[in-house]
Structure 1
Amino acid sequence: MKDADAVRDLGKMSEVLEDYSPIQVGTAGSHAGRAFTVVGRIQLRYRAGIWNEWYLLFDDGQAGWLGDASGQFMLTIPQPNGWTRWPAFAELRPGQNYLVGDARVTASDVREADCIGGQGELPFRVGAGWQARVADFRRERDFLTLDYSDGEAPLLYKGYAVTLPELKAQLLRDEEQIKTSAGKYRGRVESLLCPSCGSAIGYLPGMATNLVCPSCTARLDATTPQVQVLEQGERAERRNMSLPLGAVAKIGNGSYRVLGAMVRVDEEGSEWSEYLMFSPTGAFFWLVETNEGWSRAQVLDAWPVPAEPASLSVSLEGIAYRKLYDYEARVEHVVGAFDWRVARGDTVRVSEFERGTARLAAEWNTDELTWTRSTPVALDQLRAWFGTSAPKLAQAQPSASPDMFGKVGRCLLWLLGLNVVPLLFNFSGVFFLLLLGALALALPAMLAPGSD
């Protein structure tokens, strides 16, 4: 049950999972010229993971919430709901546009979640069995939430996607505090034995809530006092990934660790690898390896316009991107730790858009829609980031089309043929010089690996 009469201390309510969030009760900051203090938190679990909602009190007496999920933050303020019409919760679909009040927005998340813990002071008392039904919407940096938890008439919250530097956040937990407290209610461990097959799994407690055993692919829930098996796995064929789990990259002044990795495949059978990178002081991002090379992908705070994946073009920060592809992506292989539940066979729809070397990608399923922006990363840059922690990366060669050398050879022979025709009618010593020069260029290309 939920009692909204007054701000209450939760006392003996279930303890929250101390995770990778740098925020804590007592963190202070400001937004739009108003100072605030974090005074409480609730933690919610949905079928794919957990997230935090931090309760804020502003100096002028107004309250707000700071959503915290996967290193992204959304600040919202309760608003009066004077509407007579609103979309029904059961009809909402991620990726669809809706008219909410006088704003046209895109649904990003539609979730039912259980409150699993609380801390500090909150505007209501949360008891066992309380379930939240919430839908989030986006338009560029604008963020809107409809909370259907108390019935068909939703509560309304409006706000923005923000960053901690923008909030001038102070009294944050530092990297060492996060490491020493993360996952404390189940004991601080750096590795555990898979309950399914007994193999050792290395992970950062509290910094990822779901694990996939590298040996048997069993899925494990790391948000409970006892790490539990979600789904039994089978002995998996080991894949020799370019970036091993635990490899550390030195990027700028920070250190990022490979937490998890997965191989995905599209309908045509094309495969690519994705590596989840984590730093306690930075947001998650992905390193993506395809047969065209490497790229770095970051989940977007500001969404493109329009944000519907079916659009033929979208605009981000005034720059237009044209649509490239629509396809389904399926998880073929997965290992390591993630901040949501992922398993082999999971599928999403993907729409890709391009502008120069940069790409935008919309990924969505029945629960959520996300947008990412990716830019190329040179192999030499990756080697500089990872050093000796990724030995296979040091041996990798720049990718090239398998048929490139054969095409070069055929092109040179074609040019030779064009030049031979007039020389047949003007035979001289020049012909032999031209023939020797052309063969010197064509033969190495034709004999190289990949030629035909």
Structure 2
Amino acid sequence: MATDSPQRAYRAACPNCGAPVDFRSAASPMAVCTFCRSTLLREGEALRRIGQAAELFDDHSPLQLGAQGKLQGAAFTLVGRIQMRYADGAWNEWHALFDSGRSGWLSEDNGNYVFSFDAPRPADAPELSTLRAGQPLTVGGQRWSVGSVTQVTLHTAEGELPQMVVGLSTAAKGAGPSFVVTDLRNTQGEVATLDNRPTPTNAEPQWSVGRSITLAELSLVGLKNDTDKSLKGQGVECPSCGASLEPRLSTTQSIVCGQCHAVVDVSKGVGADLAYYAQDNADAAVHEPQLPLGKVGKLTIKGQTLPWQVVGYVERIEVDAGGDGDWQSAWREYLLYNRTAGFLWLVDAEDGWSWTQPLTGVPVRKSDDRVELDGVGFHKLYGYSGQITYVLGEFYWRLAKNQRTYNTDYQGIGGNSGKRLNREETHEAGASEVVWSAGETLQAAAVAQAFGLGGGQQAALTRDGGPSNVTWGTLKTILIWLAVIVVLLLLIRKCGGDDCDEVRDTYGAASTEYQQCQRSSSGGHYYGNTGSSWGGYSSGGGHK
């Protein structure tokens, strides 16, 4: 039957359970009954049951069917979603139907969201089997960089879908179709997705292009109310000690037990066999975060002041890429969460504090050691391999023991020396990814004030500001002068040491001649070892 709406809608009874099934778009070919999970194919004015969809992984997302919002003034409603799984967890692609009849997708991206639209596949789209993370390429006459290559499995779906989805019935039996999803990113802040998911007609790989978005920008209404009541019954037992675990983030893939500190993988959903790894708790007090989990602070980021809650804590070390176990420096990261703005990282390193967020796009490469983002130039500081050593709280990706990343840090040039860029590359089973993040330095006093820390606690946050407070040109000048001084001292030491050694050998260590030689020399031994670092900065390695 027809209902009052900007376009013709259709409602029919589910042939399996009799519950009403709504189609808001005349172009939608299929839906999943929200009551009995039947997969329904629309044939004219009738519905035909073609199988059963798997149960959804309840991820506590604030999004739900029926939520409404606006994108650049155009109204839309969330009418369906597809849920995908991969080695590190799962993500959702929400079908957004606009009042004009156009369909879009609101999907998750590194803990945040991307709004994208399907488009014709470019004629020059590459074979997916040839792509690797970080690879530059041209598609559709535009330059892109491969952000990730991921082997995924269709898990399930719900609601109304704008195209046929093959394999929902086999997914319900734990054998959903597997395919490759590749994300491409460009310097205009866009992300494109190329995947070869199966279609009824064996069509070419699908192509969509979108941009990063926050839920606040979409002015969404009808979101799920995240209360303790809505999460009741969703807790699981820690597989290590049996304590209760209650994931509260919309995208939690790993959670740390508050009792035994085991890191538990919940990426396969509540009710699944949970894998975990134990952490060394002998020195638990040493690992106590200075910003406690659950603490809320108001930070001003990009000109907007919002409340951010500490939901995760990570300790990392820089390790030798050769794998011999040696490490040079350590740093700490706090994962912050805001319900409508997504995730933010606070980084506590040897050279001070900073915040950072993943980018949808990539910077413009100017040379091997220089990139540019939004008109700001950045020079390469250092490259290093990082390894997670200790974690607390919840995280939007699956944590593996001794997990490693390959990083490159960049600093803003000239008057933008407080700006930061980081390139992080990971390689896991079935997936590889390159993520760029951007941020700025913060004063320890600003962090303390934001989270309401007292004088003593604020003093404990202070780090060596070192290179964060000087420009690259100034730093290079200092390093050059230090190198000159070291060379001169070595020459003086060599000269003085050799002369006096010869006098000592001739006249003896207690002789007046030897004592006079020492007094008249430059005293190279007095200066001792000057070292190779300055203000926490070492040219031989790197740190966050």
Band of TM-score, shorter chain: 0.7 to 0.9
Could you tell me how far apart the structure 2 residues matched to 1:282 and 1:48 are?
23
How far did 1:324 drift?
Answer: 1.2
Q: Is the 8 A contact 2:70 2:220 kept in 1?
A: no
- 1:240 & 1:357 partners in 2: Cα distance? 28
| Aligned AA (2:422) | A
Residues 56-65 or 206-215, more deviating: 206-215
Structure number with greater CO (CA < 8 Å, separation at least 6) is 1
Does 2:249 match 1:195?
no
Q: CA deviation at 1:44?
A: 1.5
User: Hey, what's the Cα distance between the residues in 1 that align with 2:455 and 2:228?
Assistant: 29
2:266 is aligned with 1:211: no
| Counterpart selection for 2:398 from 320, 332, 341 | 341
Residue 289 of structure 2 corresponds to which residue in structure 1? 241
Which residue pairs with 1:229 in the alignment?
Answer: 274
Superposition deviation, residue 376 in structure 1:
1.7
For the Cα contact (< 8 Å) 1:313–1:322, is it kept in 2? yes
Cross-structure match for 1:136: 183
Structure 1 CA distance, aligned partners of 2:379 and 2:75? 41
Query: Offset of 1:95 from its aligned partner?
Result: 1.2
Bigger shift: residues 231-240 or 372-381? 231-240
Q: Distance in 2 between matches of 1:361 and 1:336?
A: 23
Alignment correspondent of 1:48:
88
- Which sections of structure 2, spanning at least 5 residues, go unmatched? 1-26, 38-52, 320-326, 467-544
**Which residue is equivalent to 2:379?**
322
Give a deviation string over 1:173-225, Cα, whole Å, max 9, x none.
27xx02357656xx244xx6522134565652645231133535343316523
Question: Could you say what secondary structure the match of 1:195 adopts?
Answer: coil
Q: Which has the larger radius of gyration?
A: 2
- Amino acid in structure 2 at the alignment position of 1:173: L
Change (3 A) 1:299 1:181: farther
In structure 2, the CA distance between the partners of 1:30 and 1:248, relative to structure 1 (3 Å rule), is closer
CA contact (8 A) 1:180 1:188 kept: no
Aligned equivalent of 1:429: none
Q: Does 1:306 align with 2:371?
A: no
The reply on whether 1:357 has 2:418 as its aligned counterpart is yes
Q: 1:19 to 1:269 in 2, by over 3 A?
A: same
**Contact kept in structure 1, 2:249 and 2:394, CA below 8 Å:** no
Pick from 366, 391, 398 the counterpart of residue 462 of structure 2: 398
User: 1: CA distance between counterparts of 2:465 and 2:336?
Assistant: 29
Distance change in 2, residues 1:103/1:226 (3 Å)? same
Aligned residue among 62, 66, 71 for 1:26? 66
SS at match of 2:274: strand
Please tell me the root mean square deviation across aligned C-alpha atoms, in Å.
3.0
Counterpart-to-counterpart distance in 2, 1:248 and 1:105: 38
Measure how far apart 1:343 and its partner are: 2.7
- Indicate if the aligned counterparts of 1:144 and 1:159 stay in contact, CA closer than 8 A: yes
Q: State TM-score, norm by structure 1.
A: 0.77
1:82 CA drift (Å): 5.4
Contact 1:20 1:280 survives alignment (8 Å):
no
Quote the residue 1:17 is aligned against.
57
Identify the residue that residue 171 of structure 1 maps to in structure 2.
Answer: 221
Which residue of structure 1 lines up, in the alignment, with residue 333 of structure 2? 274
Q: Contact 1:183–1:206 (CA<8 Å) still a contact in 2?
A: no
Equivalent residue for 2:100, pick from 45, 60, 67 = 60
Note if contact 2:107-2:114 (Cα within 8 Å) is conserved in structure 1. yes
Distance 1:295 1:22 in 2: 28
Q: Number of matched residues? A: 388
Tell me, yes or no, if the aligned pair for 2:145 and 2:362 is still in contact at 8 Å.
no
Query: Judging changes above 3 Å, is the alpha-carbon distance between structure 1 residues 311 and 294 closer, same or farther for their aligned structure 2 residues?
Result: same
Match in the other structure for 1:291: 350
Partner of 2:206: 155
Query: For 1:202 and 1:165, how far apart are their aligned partners in 2?
Result: 26
Q: Displacement of 1:27 after TM fit?
A: 2.6
Render the CA deviation track for 1:314-340: whole Å, top value 9, x for unaligned: 111111111111111111222221111
Taking the TM superposition and a 5 Å limit, the aligned residue runs for 1:60-139 are 60-81=100-121, 83=123, 85-122=124-161, 123-125=163-165, 126-127=168-169, 128=171, 129-139=176-186
Distance in 2 (CA, whole Å) between partners of 1:93 and 1:181 is 44
Q: Which runs of no fewer than 5 residues in structure 1 stay unpaired?
A: 403-452
Q: CA deviation at 1:8?
A: 2.0
> What amino acid is aligned across from residue 158 of structure 1 in structure 2?
V
SS of corresponding position for 1:382: helix
Q: Distance in 1 between matches of 2:122 and 2:265?
A: 44
Amino acid at match of 2:448: R
Q: 1:279 to 1:158 in 2, by over 3 A?
A: closer
Alignment match, 1:438: none
Residue in 2 aligned with 1:387?
452
User: 1:271: how far off?
Assistant: 0.3
Identity of aligned residues (%): 29
Query: Can you list the C-alpha shifts for 1:69-106, whole angstroms capped at 9, x where unaligned?
Result: 354222222222351x5322222111111122312101
1:410-432 C-alpha deviation (Å, 9 max, x unpaired): xxxxxxxxxxxxxxxxxxxxxxx
Counterpart amino acid of 1:233? A
1:392 & 1:50 partners in 2: Cα distance? 42
* Match of residue 310 from structure 2: 258
Change (3 A) 1:25 1:200: closer
Q: Distance in 2 between matches of 1:152 and 1:179?
A: 43
Q: Which SS does the other structure have where 2:207 is aligned?
A: strand
Q: Given the alignment, which residue of 31, 39, 42 partners 1:8?
A: 31
- For 1:82 and 1:379, the matched residues in 2 are separated by 49
Q: 1:312 to 1:33 in 2, by over 3 A?
A: same
TM-score (norm 2): 0.64
Letter in 2 for 1:162: I
CA distance in 2, matches of 1:318, 1:208: 35
Range 9-18 or range 262-271, more displaced: 9-18
Q: In 2, Cα distance between the equivalents of 1:218 and 1:75?
A: 32
